[in-house]
């Protein structure tokens, strides 16, 4: 089993709760994402990280857990979306470094929250009504010039079973 862990979740608090999301329903067999959550008074938990690989979840979504601390469903969506980007390894380390720097600068300029998994994979929190066109232009250039890949995490709904 391989665990995908959030080293520095954007919603880190003194009383975070860690739960797991099985990634097998998303064709990522043998992988589990550990999600950082905040307990809510009604027994649900608010997602306090930006999911790297779990589809259908976003920052602030309220989820329900099984007794084994697995996410079983979304009780209330937050309206946020997750934009994930994977930069391809490059023999030109200088170019890759420039790309990472430009993406980090664009994220900072747009005021978005992000979490990185290594140096080439970033998950971005997109609050409702956010204009991401400048960031999209940059990402499209990375796709065209360097074979980067991006996707919306809500391209598939959250599920605990394969469809």
> 108 with 138: CB under 8 angstroms?
no
CATH architecture of 81-155: 2-Layer Sandwich (3.30)
The confidence score (pLDDT) of residue 149 equals: 93
Give the integer Cα–Cα distance in Å for 57 and 121. 17
pLDDT in tens, the chain (163 residues): 899 999 999 999 887 899 999 999 999 999 999 999 999 999 999 999 999 999 999 999 999 999 999 999 999 999 999 999 999 887 778 888 888 898 999 999 999 999 999 989 999 999 999 999 988 898 898 888 888 899 999 999 999 987 6
Residue-level pLDDT at 163: 65
Q: In which residue ranges of the chain is CATH 3.30.70.600 found?
A: 81-155
The H helix count followed by the E strand count for the chain is: 2, 10
pLDDT of residue 126: 97
8 Å CB contact between 47 and 60: yes
The span from the CA of 60 to the CA of 46, in Å, is: 5
pLDDT at residue 150, as a whole number:
93
CA distance 37 to 130: 24
What is the rounded distance in angstroms from the CA atom of residue 43 to the CA atom of residue 156? 25
């Amino acid at each position: 089993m391989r665990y995908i862990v959030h080293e520095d979740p954007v919603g880190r608090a003194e009383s975070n709760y860690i739960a797991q999301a099985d990634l097998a329903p998303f064709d990522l067999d043998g992988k589990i994402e550990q999600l950082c959550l905040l307990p809510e008074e009604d027994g649900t938990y608010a997602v306090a990280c930006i999911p790297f690989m779990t589809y259908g979840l976003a920052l602030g979504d309220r989820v329900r857990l099984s007794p084994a601390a697995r996410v079983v469903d979304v009780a209330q969506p937050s309206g946020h979306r997750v934009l994930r980007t994977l930069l391809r390894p490059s023999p030109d380390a200088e170019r890759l470094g420039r790309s990472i720097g430009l993406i980090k600068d664009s994220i900072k300029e747009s005021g978005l929250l992000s979490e990185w998994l290594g140096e080439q994979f970033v998950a971005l929190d997109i609050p409702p009504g956010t204009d991401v066109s400048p960031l999209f232009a940059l990402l499209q250039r990375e796709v065209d010039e360097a074979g980067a890949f991006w996707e919306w995490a809500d391209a598939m709904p959250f599920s605990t079973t394969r469809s």
